[in-house]
Amino acid sequence: MTDEFRFCLEISPAEEGLRLDRALARRLPQYSRTTLQGWLRDGRITIGARPVSAAAPVHAGECVAFDLPPPAPADVLAEDIPLAIVFEDDTLIVIDKPAGLIVHPGAGCARGTLQNALLHHAPDLAPLARSGIVHRLDKDTSGLLVVARTEAARLALIGQLKTREMGREYEALVIGAPPATGFVDAPIGRDVRHRTRMSVRRDGRPARSDFMVLERLGAYSLLRVRLHSGRTHQIRVHMAYLGFPLVGDETYGGGRTRHLLDRQALHARRLSVRHPRTGESLVFEAPRPDDLANIVTMLRHGSPS
């Protein structure tokens, strides 16, 4: 077994006195309680090099050690697809994804995705769930995305997403003139009538987006949007909910502006993470892609209708 599947989690003061299985369920939401309890029974999770029961109370500062079996390699083909690598070391890869590139294979799309490209670029990702991809961007959203190269890094990055330690900022070009600053705090769930769409729903999952106007461009506005959560289509849904749909977004009310841009005008501009191995704070930025930059320049010189 490789070191990628041997790692430790330190118990925080907030977890003092919790049952071990409950503390781990909080920290590792991607694993079911049944899976965690199975590893405990098999002796794959230890404290102080000793097996421990699921019901054992944990104490701040304790190191919970994992010695896990690597998952079966994903049945995804490696493909030689160019990638824009922003940063890479033995723990992380940060990619500037172009619009039009799907992140994961899915129904009717087994090839030509970011995951296929990653497996060609870094074959060591094969044993990791989703080849180390810990968050996603919509097909027609461009910008920054982080990939873990080890299981310990993958779990750490998922934890940073959950606790909002990972910072994600986007640029969005919207129709209309929203306030100079604002936020949307509205739950998002699957649309009951259109299953491929999301919508603001009372029974949805909590979602908050903060925005600030960067530039007024006639009938349009260029925004910076910061996520507090990562729901599917969150920015697109939230801005449409306020009455300011994204330029080019046919799904959420921006279809009349497809003559300006043939995709939603959304770019993941800035990403901040804590390096899972070194603890260093890392900040990455991706410049506005040409299609979006050209539209912004054109609008500065006179808004088309």
Catalytic residues: 138
| Backbone dihedral angles phi then psi of residue 61, each to the nearest 5 degrees | 95, -15
Whether 239 contacts 174, CB under 8 Å: yes
Tokens of 203: 């029974």
Tokens of 197: 């769409």
- Alpha-carbon dihedral sign for residues 139, 145, 151, 155: negative
Torsion of CA 230, 148, 31, 138, to 10 degrees: 30
d(CA 158, CA 182): 27
| Backbone dihedral angles phi then psi of residue 123, each to the nearest 5 degrees | -60, -20
d(CA 133, CA 145): 8
Give every CB contact of residue 53 below 8 A, 6+ residues apart in sequence: 20, 40
Whether 263 contacts 290, CB under 8 Å: no
